Homo-oligomer: A and B are copies of this chain.
């Protein structure tokens, strides 16, 4: 019963999960940036297999939420967009991971 309470508690937190992070496309981006310090848009395009349109709009949303920093520069003559997680972004991912991992704990199978 106490165990059920804990499980239920973890589940209820799902209701308030950060939707910005929860979206699969953005979670991919965030998890990649989490382990890599910085990456350019082309790398993310390949790693996520998103279209340019989706990548762009999701990055905009992440920027808007303050979770990633976007650094538009040039590599030689070509435009090059570098992306980096902010502190808030890193915290958001940590929170999300904690919430989801708690919620996905196997309940005493019966």
In the complex, the chain B residue whose C-beta lies closest to that of A29 is: B11
How far is it, in angstroms, between the C-alpha of A12 and the C-alpha of B31 when the chains are bound? 11
For A107, give its contact among B15, B34, B100, B109 (CB under 8 Å): B34
Identical copies in the complex: 2
For A110, give its contact among B27, B37, B47, B97 (CB under 8 Å): B37
The number of residues on chain A lying at the interface, defined by a beta carbon within 8 Å of a beta carbon of chain B, is 32
Q: Please classify the interface of chain A as helix (H, G, I), strand (E, B), loop, or mixed, using the class held by over half of its residues.
A: helix
How far is it, in angstroms, between the C-alpha of A34 and the C-alpha of B6 when the chains are bound? 15
Question: Which residues of chain B come closer than 8 Å to A7, judged between CB atoms?
Answer: 31, 35
The answer, yes or no, to whether A101 is at the interface (CB within 8 Å) is yes
> Which residues A60-104 have CB closer than 8 A to chain B?
97, 100-101, 103-104
